[in-house]
Amino acid sequence: MAYFIKNYSLGARLAIVSREELYDVGISAAERIVIEENKITYLSDQASMGIDEVTWLRLESLHEGDILSINDRGVCYRMFDVTEGDATIFMGGKCNSNCVMCPSSDYERQEDYSGQREELLKYIDMLPQNLPHYVVTGGEPTMQPTVFLEVMEKLAEKFPEASALLLTNGRAFSSRRFLGQLIQKCPPYLVAAIPLHGAESAIHDTITRAPGSFRQTLQGIANLLDNGVAIEIRIVVTKMNCDSLESIARLICQSYPNVICVNFISLEVRGNCVKNKKTVYINPRDSFKKSKPAIDFLVENGIDVGLYNYPLCCVERGYWFLCKKSISPEKVRYGEVCQNCEAKEYCGGIFVSTLKTAHPDIAPIIFK
Ligand code: SF4
């Protein structure tokens, strides 16, 4: 979530939100920003500036303990929302694949993230010690291998009891040497979530636009499982692979029956996905229909399945229990018709970008 501080002049900072100056300095040496109705103050150097009513109304909703990254133009990103209780560790937008349906934009993938190491480590220091869950993500989070290993080690040390989810294309772990380095520094409750786009390289590599990625991803999954790292497979359902989903399910059951779950993902229509919409977009209703045989096959073979980003009205009622509320609060929206829906409180909604650009076919549910 981004905020803007008008006429900002206090320099780029990473700071924990405080509501008053009376806090225990001994708890943390981290920077704090005190937000009051007419001013903000940084406690490290007492730098302060007045804010107008509009800015106050924007910042008012921040909570004590949230972590903000503020750039020198006054644009602030809430990096950690204390009320959500889990943290995202963003390792930069770069990726060694360039998937046709990736929700990231070219700009996000091409930005220079090489100088972010210090800020990342500082951010981890600022997170509360009792964090129950965190997600390490990118881009592809292993693109700066040394920084990645350093971050994983720090996370493992600081949060030994937390569950960790690593969102990766898995390719880096085809190197046993690199995986060996991670295993030495690995958070104990780590799950690696890895997308598989096809049951053969012709489809997978066409979607990733990275020749050889299918072979590397399969090798990465095998190596991680061999080393005791739990694996979640993700199948992002597109027009390009929707007729191959059963083959993917068969491949998983034959080669990786010990994955902890397989999650089917409906598209977030943003970034490359908007650019290539004609080639990739399938609405969530058809996406579910095409996924159903593969879901049944996996369940029959004892593999847990989840459905991410599927509004309930696009899914057969008998499969609702598989639907997760997977869209984060700042990205989730509901259509006008949702006002009349009796299932709204159970529904995970739609991505704001998908609603705007793809207008998925949704219809209110009325219980009889
Ligand atoms: S109508 Fe709206 S709230 Fe109801 S299931 Fe569909 S998307 Fe969800």
Which residues does ligand 1 sit against, CB inside 6 Å?
A: 311-313, 334-335, 337-338, 341, 343-344, 347, 362-365
CA gap 140, 109 in Å, rounded:
9
Q: In degrees, to the nearest 5, what angle opens at C-alpha 362 toward C-alphas 100 and 232?
A: 45
> What does residue 18 show for φ and ψ, rounded to 5 degrees?
-125, 145
| Atom 7 (ligand 1) nearest CA | 311
Q: Which residues contact 261 (CB under 8 A, 6 or more apart)?
A: 232, 233, 303, 304, 305, 306
Q: How far is the CA of 342 from the centre of ligand 1 (A)?
A: 8
CA gap 347, 325 in Å, rounded:
7
Q: How far is the CA of 239 from the centre of ligand 1 (A)?
A: 23
Helix, strand or coil for residue 137? strand
- Tokens 């399910």 sit at which residue? 249
- Please give the pLDDT value at position 362: 96
Q: How far is the CA of 324 from the centre of ligand 1 (A)?
A: 14
Question: What's the pTM value of the predicted model, to 2 decimals?
Answer: 0.92
> What does residue 306 show for φ and ψ, rounded to 5 degrees?
-130, 155
Report the candidate in 144, 222, 228, 146 with the shortest Cα–Cα distance to residue 190: 228
Counting atoms of ligand 1 from 1, which one is nearest the CA of 350? 7
- Please give the pLDDT value at position 94: 94
- Please give the pLDDT value at position 103: 95
Q: What is the pLDDT along the chain (368 residues), one digit of tens a residue?
A: 778 898 999 999 999 998 766 555 444 568 999 999 999 999 999 999 999 999 999 899 899 999 999 999 999 999 999 998 899 999 999 999 999 999 998 888 887 777 789 999 999 999 999 999 999 999 999 999 999 999 999 999 999 999 999 999 999 999 999 999 999 988 889 999 999 999 999 999 999 999 999 999 999 999 999 999 999 999 999 999 999 999 999 999 999 999 999 999 999 999 999 999 999 999 999 999 999 999 999 999 999 999 999 999 999 999 999 999 999 988 999 999 999 999 999 999 999 999 999 999 999 999 97
- Please give the pLDDT value at position 364: 96
Mutate to test the pocket of ligand 1, among 309, 325, 333, 338 (most ligand atoms within 8 A of CB): 338
Largest Cα–Cα distance of the chain, in whole Å? 63
| Atom 2 (ligand 1) nearest CA | 338
210: its two tokens: 């990275």
- Please give the pLDDT value at position 22: 53
Q: How far is the CA of 142 from the centre of ligand 1 (A)?
A: 37
Mutate to test the pocket of ligand 1, among 314, 337, 351, 354 (most ligand atoms within 8 A of CB): 337
Looking at the chain, the number of H-run helices and the number of E-run strands are: 12, 17
